[in-house]
Structure 1
Amino acid sequence: MEPTGKRMTKQKKVILDILRNTKIHPTADWIYAQARKVLPDISLGTVYRNLGVLKEAGEIMELNYGSTYSRYDGNPENHYHFVCLECGRITDLEMAVHYELEKEAEAGDCGEVLYHRLEFYGICKACHQQRQN
């Protein structure tokens, strides 16, 4: 018997597929709405539970920007994000992750750095264009 959370249940697979096939960094509610199209009887609690299990397993990332809800990223590899302060859109940035920042932080005697996250904040192209009109 596999340890709890290790088995790929039908619900977990649907949630992971949804996240791996979108770039919008959705909320749990959005994921729930999409999952119900495939599994009409899935509950919001099941979605939250499986998001937690997938996060703990390193399959997804939870992005929390201090708002009342988290966003989720189907790409668990360390990468940077751009957050639009106007519409809230979160975009993956196609740029190298600078792991030397971790060494610099450790050299500052903060302790052992396990990983880092970096976000850039501003106005996305779509919102900037709307401002111009």
Structure 2
Amino acid sequence: MIKYSRQRECIVNFLASRTDHPTAETIYLNTKKDFPNISLGTVYRNLSLLEEIGEIIKISTGYGPDRYDYNTKPHYHFICRQCGRVMDLDLDFNDNLVHRAQDATEHTIESCSVSFTGLCADCASNTTN
């Protein structure tokens, strides 16, 4: 059992209210409004714990800082290689891929993370202008 923390609850509530996959720094700056003495290290420790217990997802983009997602249901992400934005794709999750992968290995697959990478609409329009 994990000890209750008002700071952790604030972090979870902030993530639950967002769909833009904020960075730890964005979460820290928001949490600091309610807890002025909170440190960035405390935010990172809480995010790590929340990820470990399956309450949030950490998204490593390869194009900047990690992002965090409250939606833990299987879904796809689009990652912009230019600005680093992470967006959910409105696309049904294909369980068949996970089953096919499991059938192809002797390992036990516990989760699947699929991200699509490219240019978001804003960055694509800026490169053509």
State the TM-score, normalizing by the size of structure 1: 0.88
Does the alignment pair 1:128 with 2:129? no
- Offset at residue 43 of structure 1 (A): 1.1
Does structure 1 retain, via aligned residues, the 8 Å contact 2:10–2:31? yes
Partner of residue 109 from structure 1, selected from 105, 108, 114: 105
State whether residues 28 and 40 of structure 2, in contact with CA within 8 Å, keep that contact through their aligned partners in structure 1.
Answer: yes
* Residues 63 and 82, structure 2, Cα contact 8 Å, conserved in 1: no
Show the counterpart of 2:22. Answer: 26
SS at match of 1:91: strand
Q: Distance in 1 between matches of 2:94 and 2:106?
A: 18
TM-score normalized by structure 2?
A: 0.90
**Residues 37-70 of structure 1: CA deviation (Å, up to 9, x unaligned):** 1111111111111111111121100111345632
**Structure 2: which 5+ runs fail to align?**
none
Q: Which runs of 5 or more structure 1 residues have no equivalent in the other structure? A: none
CA distance in 2, matches of 1:91, 1:117: 14
Q: Over aligned residues, Cα RMSD in angstroms?
A: 1.6
Q: In the alignment, which residue of structure 2 is the partner of 1:44?
A: 40
> Which AA in structure 1 matches 2:94?
H
Describe the SS at the equivalent of 1:120: strand
Partner of 2:85: 89
Q: SS of 1:59's equivalent?
A: coil
1:16-44 Cα deviation digits (max 9, x unpaired): 11111122212211111111011111111
**Residue 85 and residue 110 in structure 1: after superposition, are their counterparts in 2 closer, same or farther (change >3 A)?**
farther
Aligned length: 129
In structure 2, the residue matched to 1:17 is 13
1:72-115 alpha-carbon deviations (Å, 9 max, x no partner): 11111121100111111100111111111111112212422111
